[in-house]
Amino acid sequence: MPNDLTPEQTLHAILAFYKRIPADLWEEDARPTTIELESVVVDAQDDLPDAARDALDTWMDPANVEGQALVARRVLDAARADPQLAPLVDAAIAEATTPHMVPLPIIVGVVVVALGVLTIDTGTDESTVRTKGADGAIHTEHRKKFHLKFNLDKLAGVVGNLASLVKELPKA
């Protein structure tokens, strides 16, 4: 389904997905702000070789919608494979296909990279969610607890993929 989106819609979808991830799924039980995401990416960039840093800078250029959308599609596909995240991805895609008058924020590349280096850390804890159905009956659902953590060791691999994507992009 993410492959059916235009590059702009894909980037709107990744932003909508990020905003939909419940706070309690993040490592610190709080969704990081885009400023915190940027800080994680910038700090990790400092440890990259110059060529990789340059490739990442080129890829994160706000004009590089096509390249960012390629990676965003991969992130959305990976998240959609998880049964707990799939409804969030589907809702984000639905939102992204509605007309947008607001341009993409400059920070979208940072969000794509940050979400690209997340790892799902599944614990043994389970949470229980009780809801009241339309029939008045109480329904209980057991969910395995997991948290999203930044895996900065994955950044080198992500940047390696970005470097090859940058080489494939048409030159302006």
Cβ-contact 96, 13 below 8 angstroms = yes
Residue range 58-86: mean pLDDT, rounded: 86
Task: Give how many domains the chain has, as a whole number.
Answer: 1
Domain boundaries, position 72: 2-168
Beta-carbon contacts of residue 129 (< 8 Å; ≥ 6 apart): 140, 141, 142, 143
Rounded Cα gap, residues 51 and 44, in angstroms: 14
15 three-class SS = helix
Of 88, 97, 117, the closest CA to residue 11 belongs to: 97
pLDDT digits (tens, 9 = 90+) for 115-158: 776 665 555 455 565 667 778 777 776 555 555 565 656 665 65
Of 19, 11, 28, 33, the closest CA to residue 109 belongs to: 11
- In DSSP terms, 144 is beta-bridged to 126
| pLDDT of 170 higher than 50 | no
**Which position has the higher pLDDT, 118 or 14?**
14
Rounded Cα gap, residues 5 and 8, in angstroms: 8
5: pLDDT confidence band, cut at 50, 70 and 90?
very high
Q: What percent of the chain has pLDDT over 90?
A: 16
Rounded Cα gap, residues 99 and 51, in angstroms: 38
